[in-house]
Amino acid sequence: MTTAATKKTVARAAEATATDTEPAFVPVEYKGKTYQIAIGDDAPIEVLEAESDFDAVKAILGPEQWADFKSTKQTVGDYKRFSTLIFEAMGEDDSGN
C-alpha cells in the first residue's frame, strides 16, 4: 500500500465512523497478542505525515504498541503479515507488501 493509499484508508474509515462519538478502535490479533488500532478520525495525525507504510504502521500502533511488537523479536516477514492485518482492519484489502 502506498502512503497515498494509507491516507485514503484513514479517510474511508473516518467516513464510516463519522457519526460515532466514542473513539473508534479495532482489535488486531497477531501471534497471541491483541493490538488496539485507532481508525478514522481517531487515527493519530502522524499517519498523514508518514512518508512510507512502515512509518504509517509505527504511527498507527503508537510508541508503546510498536515497542511491544518489536520486543517479541519479529522478523521482516512477521512485519509484513502484521501490517497487512492492520491495513485490512482499517478497511484496505492489500497493503502492497
Per-residue model confidence as pLDDT tens digits over 10-33: 555 555 555 556 668 899 999 999
Q: How far apart are CA 70 and CA 11, in angstroms?
A: 28
Is the pTM for the entire model greater than 0.85?
no
pLDDT at position 42 is: 85
CA angle 13, 31, 38 (to 5 degrees): 20
